Amino acid sequence: MLPQRPAYRLIDLLKIVAAQCIVLHHFALYGPLSDATAQAAPELAAWFYDYARMAVQVFLVVAGYLAARSLGQTDWNRQGLLRTLWQRYERLVLPFAAALLITMLCSALARPHLDGDLVPASPQLGQWLAHASLLHSVLGVDSLSAGVWYVAIDFQLYALMALLLWLSRGNRWVAGALVAAMAVASLTWFNLDADYDVWALYFFGAYGLGALAWWAGLRARHSGYVLALYLGTVSVGLGALALEFRERIALAMGVSTVLASFGSTPLHLPRRVDAWVRRLSNSSYALFLVHFSVLLLANALWAVLDIADADWALPFTASAWSLSLLASYAFHTQVELRIAQWRNGSAALPAQAAK
């Protein structure tokens, strides 16, 4: 992981806002608590239901931006490509698997109190294997938690980006052209067909815009060339929107423009605010992984209490949201970071043995 610097606080803030939107979208979408919230605050609930999910586009653009930043330092031989992909897989899947175990436990606790399809069924071995291999969406396997399709798509996108950079052999001219061409293909073709929405090509328009935004924002040699590629890709995207408007793509282009313009601009915050921003940003993946477990338990408790007054749904949801944040911090510090330490220790063993 690259060191935290004030220059990237804008990215941290984008991740924080997007993560909260996704969590609140799910709270507005699932269970009897969401129904009560819709009665208590229909306009607010409708907004989170309809629009907060578009925060996924923020994650896609930011992920592409960060991937271009980190992969630019990779040794692009065949072993380097495979090692990079394996490291990404481990980083995503090990915390993902741990979170699914927590979800399975919470599902068992919530199942007796909730009807419908909210609670995942007890998983079969095939489901576990499909999720562990990140093929659950491609294979059409029932998800074991909310939003887990994104974990698989994130890996696909990262792998596709790594492959394009490997093919370019570190040549930024070639890399920029390949990424721009793939982004254009996504914006003008693949993203128009929902049949592709289990594949990286459907989402690469936003991801590629993020990568091009990183390169375009560099004050270095060839940055003018990549800036031209970025602006050309945005222009093609605008043309595609003129033919078929998609709010999510418009948002992705807006976020990428902000990052291209200000992504590397230092953003100095008061010390305490800065610490909270780093903490919330670092635990955003953990929040994505564990919030559904809290959602299940919150809905089960709401059903058990059988509260007749829907006005209680708002403070109840706010409390569950707060618990999700606490759970994500605990998961990040006690599970995700420990896994990262174990991975770093394992990776160091071959190097030590070679000395």
- Asked if residues 186 and 240 have their Cβ atoms less than 8 Å apart, the reply is no
Mean pLDDT of 247-256: 97
**Structural domain contains residue 352:** no
Amino acid code (one letter) for 71: L
**Structural domain contains residue 1:** no
**Structural domain contains residue 178:** yes
Amino acid code (one letter) for 59: F
* Structure confidence at residue 346 (pLDDT): 63
- pLDDT exceeds cutoff 60 at 222: no
**Structural domain contains residue 318:** yes
pLDDT-derived band of residue 353, with 50, 70 and 90 as boundaries? very low
* Structure confidence at residue 349 (pLDDT): 44
**Structural domain contains residue 149:** yes
Give CA–CA dist 85/88, Å, rounded.
5
**Structural domain contains residue 205:** yes
Q: Structure tokens of 131?
A: 């999720």
- What is the pLDDT of the chain when averaged over all its residues? 91
Least trusted range by pLDDT, from 22-36, 156-170, 214-228: 214-228
**Structural domain contains residue 355:** no
Q: Structure tokens of 8?
A: 């990237």
The 10s digit of each residue's pLDDT in 111-133 is: 999 987 899 988 899 999 999 99
**Structural domain contains residue 351:** no
Look at the chain and report how many structural domains it folds into.
1
Nearest to 50 by CA among 24, 31, 32: 24
Q: Which helix (H) or strand (E) holds 108?
A: helix 78-110
Domain that holds residue 305: 6-346
Give CA–CA dist 229/95, Å, rounded.
36
- Percentage of the residues of the chain whose pLDDT score is greater than 70: 93
Least trusted range by pLDDT, from 11-25, 128-142, 258-272: 258-272
Output the pTM of the full model: 0.92
